Amino acid sequence: MAASSLIPPHGGTLVNRFADADRARELTSAASGLPKITLTTKQACDLEMIATGAFSPLEGFVGKADFESICREARLANGTVWPIPITLAVDDATKASLSEGGQAALFHGDGTLLAVIDVREIYPHDKKLEIPNVFRTEDEAHPGVRAVLDEGPWLVGGPIHVITVTPQVEPGEQFTEFRLPPAKTREAFAAKGWKTITAFQTRNPVHRAHEYLTKCALEICDGVLIHPLVGETKPGDIPADVRMACYQVLIDNYYVADCTMLSVMPGAMRYAGPREALLHAMIRKNYGCSHFIVGRDHAGVGDYYGTYDAQKIFDDFTPAEIGITPLKFEHAAWCTVCEGMTSAKTCPHGPDEKVFLSGTKVRELLAQGKRPPPEFSRPEVADVLIKWATSEQPVGA
């Protein structure tokens, strides 16, 4: 099957911002004489997503017109759907070293030169516009809101020319084997003969309800891409290496190998609920997926968003504008009467017949070395989490 039979990237062209070897040497040589910007973890994640085409059609950090249009309309200035501004925020001192029309060298926090940016624009970071529109709240306790508030008061817009996205001092596990850029996942889908692929976004271990959703999707698609986010997350989230071990043991034991693929998405979480659900769909479209699972409270945190707000936002745009098909699932749980995974659409029984566990209860069981009920979590997954919880976490945390 030709790769061209897959869904086209968002905007029509898969972006690639990596410089070739000769150009990379020129950029490296020039960087020593350029103003320096040291990227935050979030910004370094965003740079990799731009570089590989995961953020297509973006070729760099957004300028003022795109920033304002995205915040107000969830669209780029040219009308293309894009729900969250991808920005490069800097402080006053850094801003003073920059000039519009010039360039700047972008460094990882460990000192690795990553890229050079053409400084097309330097403009005020309008946080009063961004925060309520993107996050639907101004509560400083919201992790996404807090992150924006902590950023610099200036934004730098312009295309990037990338030398590398791999820091010299790797901050922990990079999941190199699974870190496939969009061009490579598309090649893999074509090699497998898949025409329709559903993507499953996750930043948590996969429990039985998630497994149910992905397998329902597999009944209508050729394959499923389990695509965990391994970029920056908030404190308290389960570490990426632990989650990866959970995904691998689950796939090895409970999924059909010829219909399943595991890769990682090196983006940063915003916890922006509906807007981020839409962004996650656009990203998976770029990776070559035709369908995208949107479950309960996708990309949410706390009680800032309605249970199914992340599904409703897709109704604000036409199918042609979005391109990828959202698969909207109800909350799923094991029913003791039906003796299987069910949802409100498939099961007439009440909550007393369902196996529901809060995150707090699950953490308590794991920290005590106890498996959650098998109706909630596969035992192999529970054992990975117990090993982590009992060695890293205080009992009852």
Distances in Å between the Cα of 362 and the Cα atoms of 242, 357, 358, 382 are 16, 7, 6, 10
Same domain for 210 and 289?
A: yes
| CA dist 128 → 97, 132, 303 (Å) | 25, 7, 21
374 occurs within a structural domain:
no
**Annotation says 203 is catalytic:** yes
Q: 204 near 243, Cβ under 8 Å? A: yes
| Helix (H) or strand (E) segment spanning residue 8 | none
Residues 201 and 224 in one domain: yes
H or E stretch at 240: helix 240-254
Catalytic residue among 203, 208, 275, 363: 203
Verify whether residue 378 is a known catalytic residue.
Answer: no
Do 181 and 155 fall within a single domain?
A: no
The length of the chain is: 397
C-alpha to C-alpha distances, 247 to 43, 107, 178, 235, nearest whole angstrom: 26, 32, 12, 21
List the chain pLDDT tens, one digit each, 397 residues.
345 589 999 999 999 999 999 999 999 999 999 999 999 999 999 999 999 999 999 999 999 999 999 999 999 999 999 999 999 999 999 999 999 999 999 999 999 999 999 999 999 999 999 999 999 999 999 999 999 999 999 999 999 999 999 887 655 457 888 999 999 999 999 999 999 999 999 888 889 999 999 999 999 999 999 999 888 777 777 888 899 999 999 999 999 999 999 999 999 999 999 999 999 999 999 999 999 999 888 999 999 999 999 999 999 999 999 999 999 998 899 999 999 999 999 999 999 999 988 777 888 899 999 999 999 999 999 999 999 999 855 433 3
Contact, 9 vs 286, CB < 8 A? yes
> Tokens 């062209």 map to which residue?
13
Q: Is residue 102 part of a domain?
A: yes
Distance of CA 299 to the CA centre of its chain: 9
Structural domain includes residue 390: no
Q: What is the CATH number of the domain that holds 13?
A: 3.10.400.10
Residue 396, in any domain of the structure:
no
The single residue of 16, 204, 296, 371 carrying the catalytic annotation is: 204
309 lies in which domain range? 176-356
Chain centroid to Cα 61, Å, comes to: 17
Q: What is the pTM of this model?
A: 0.93
Q: Which two tokens stand for residue 324?
A: 């990828």
User: Collapsing DSSP states into helix, strand and coil, what is residue 191?
Assistant: helix
328 and 184 in one domain? yes
User: 214 with 96, same domain?
Assistant: no
